[in-house]
Structure 1
Amino acid sequence: MTPTHRHQQPSTRTARMHQPYDPWQAADTLGLTIRYAPLRDCLGCWVPPDRLIVLATRLTHVQERDTLAHEVEHALKHDTDCRYAGAAGRLWSRRQEARADEAAARKLIPTVDLEDALNWATSREEAAHELGVTEHMLRVRLLIRRRDLEWLDTSRTDG
């Protein structure tokens, strides 16, 4: 494993009024160690007993930032190893993964930035590039947005 640090903030067209989420700073604040290794089956992993996040060496900067944000969320929730055996373990693993994805997506893509990008971007690819995230993370954030909007619609009629 290589302890290199390849941190840099994505440049975007969106005029942000806030500091973008920095998962390297979050990991540092939590006292987590970040290492890089040639992972084959995943982009990153959280090793709870060692308070260690391992990231694949082959990642682009955007993939690295998204993956680190995701793994930091596992640490924040004190998640266990996600490689459980059996049906119940697979279900719990999927829940942990979805929860980490959603929390990371909210931090990486603030609502104001998402709405701004959606106003002018002509594709998801363009919006993801603008926001400095992967298309996967943008899809996750869009699902959250849709759920939030549906909740707002039903809360107005139920109230």
Structure 2
Amino acid sequence: MAHAFATRLRAAGEPVDLLTIVDAYPAPPNPTPLDPRHAVAALLISLGITTDALELDAGQALDLATAQGHPVAALGRDRLAAMAITFAANVALQERYAVTRFTGDALLIESDLRHRLDSEAPGSWSPFITGSVDVVRINVPHGALLNPDPAATIAAAVTNRLTPLG
């Protein structure tokens, strides 16, 4: 999303001082669509909930979240099911989006605790960003990156990049 907004702003003649991407990557060529039966498990994994199961229903997911003390358990079964549907839809949108080239530098924030596909590496942005891609790795699951402590780390990294030296 951030990359799409930044390229559109630049195309409209607006300044973009820093493109900051939070643990996201361009879809690989010819991606394998997310199987809807795997959406609940994929959502849990993205939130840092441990599971070896590929297929889960919302009730099983709620049980896992509760057992692991994850705050998403407070949402309940129906909201968790709705989140999985939204998650799958967002993955499908990303896979169909035609990524364009951004002229400038980027800051990529990565979760150190996220299973990555081979296509999900900082270098995967190279065809789509003309400048440098600096990486900041944070030792929390993807779903916790915007919690207060990791968000403060992100804010400091952005501030450091935008503050002129001198």
TM-score computed with the length of structure 1 as normaliser = 0.26
Bigger proportion of residues as helix: 1
> Comparing both chains, which one has the higher relative contact order based on Cα–Cα distances under 8 Å and sequence gaps of 6 or more?
2
TM-score computed with the length of structure 2 as normaliser = 0.25
